[in-house]
Amino acid sequence: MEKTLTTEKANSDRYVQLENVDMTFSTKKGDFNALKNINLSIREGEFVSIIGHSGCGKSTVLNLIAGLTQPTEGLLFCAGREIAGPGPQRAVVFQNHSLLPWLTCYENVYLAVERVFGTSAEKKEPKTQLKTRTNAALELVGLTHATDKRPNEISGGMKQRVGIARALAMEPKVLLLDEPFGALDALTRANLQDELMKIMAKSGCTAVMVTHDVDEAILLSDRVVMMTNGPSAGIGEILEVNLPRPRARLALAEDTDYNHLRSEVLRFLYERHAKKAA
C-alpha cells in the first residue's frame, strides 16, 4: 500500500519528463545541435511556460513532447510511459492555428472530437454526444455565433480560439501551446489569456506553453523555464511563480512579487543571455 502510494506520487510529480534530451538536426550544411542535455519534470496539472530568444529551440522542445519529432538522444515520458509518437492525449495548439481552410469552425473541431470519442471501439459515443461536445468546446471559447464560418471568414483572434477549442475538445492529458497568441494584437491577446486562465482552472489539465512574452509567461504559469541561446541550447533557469490564483491582470501590475519575478526574467533574457543582433 505504502509503496504504490509513493510511486503514484512520483508519477504525478513527474507527469511529463524529459531526460537528457539532445536534438541534432542533420542539414545540408552538416549537423546542427539545437538542444543539449535538457532535463525537465512537469507536475500533473501544472502550467509551465518556456521562454527564450527566437531560434533557441522552444518549438523543438514542444514538438518533442508532442511526439512530432524524435530526440537524437535521451528519453521523454508522459504519465510514466515513453512518448513514442504524436497522439490525441497530447493536444497541440499550433503557432499558426493550422485550421483546415475547407472546413467550417464546427467541422474543424468535430474532426478532432470524432477521432477521440467516436472511433475507439470500447467507448464509442453516439453522434448526438459528439455534436454536444463540439458545440460545448466552441461555446467555451465564445464562438457559438461563428460555428458555420470558414477560417478565412473570421479574424485572427477567432481562428486562434478555434484552435484552442479543437485542442480542448479532445480532453487531452497535456495541452501544448506554441506561441498561441503571438500573432495577435495586445487587446485580443489579453482577453484570450484571461479566458485561457479560466479554462485551465476548470479543466485542470497539464499545460506547456511556448512564449516570448514575459508578462504572459508569469501571468499564466506555475513555473517559467528560461532557455539559453542556441546552438546547443539548454535550460538556463527555472523560476517558480508562487502568485495566488485566480490572478487578476490589473492587481498584479502593482504587486511587488510580480514585478520582482518579472525583472528576474527580464534580467535573464536581456543581461545574462542577451541575443546579439543578427
Ligand X SMILES: Nc1ncnc2c1ncn2[C@@H]1O[C@H](COP(=O)(O)OP(=O)(O)OP(=O)(O)O)[C@@H](O)[C@H]1O
235 sits in the region (left: phi over 0; alpha: psi -120 to 50; else beta) called: beta
60 near ligand X, rule: CB under 6 A: yes
The C-alpha cell that represents 257 in the structure block: 512579487
Q: How far is CA 52 from CA 15, 61, 84, 211, in A?
A: 23, 12, 26, 8
Number of residues binding to another protein, judged by CB under 8 A: 24
What's the CA angle centered on 38, arms 36 and 42, to 5 degrees?
Answer: 165
68 near another protein, rule: CB under 8 A: yes
29, with CB counted inside 10 A (0-12, 13-18, 19+), is exposed
209 near another protein, rule: CB under 8 A: no
Neighbours of 12 (CB within 10 A): 15
| Touching Mg ion, residues 58-117 (CB under 5 A) | 59
| Binder among 88, 118, 156, 231 for another protein (CB under 8 A) | 88
| Touching Mg ion, residues 242-271 (CB under 5 A) | none
Per-residue contact string for residues 7-36; x = within reach of ligand X by CB under 6 A: ------------------x-x----x-x--
Residues 147 and 135 sit within 8 Å (Cβ to Cβ): yes
| Binder among 44, 79, 103, 118 for another protein (CB under 8 A) | 103
152 near another protein, rule: CB under 8 A: yes
96 near another protein, rule: CB under 8 A: yes
Could you tell me the strand order of the sheet in which 47-51 lies? 90-93, 174-178, 206-211, 47-51, 223-227, 235-240
Residues that bind ligand X (CB under 6 A): 25, 27, 32, 34, 52, 54-60, 212, 230
Residues that bind another protein (CB under 8 A): 66, 68, 85-88, 90-92, 94, 96, 98, 100-103, 111-112, 115-116, 119, 150, 152, 170
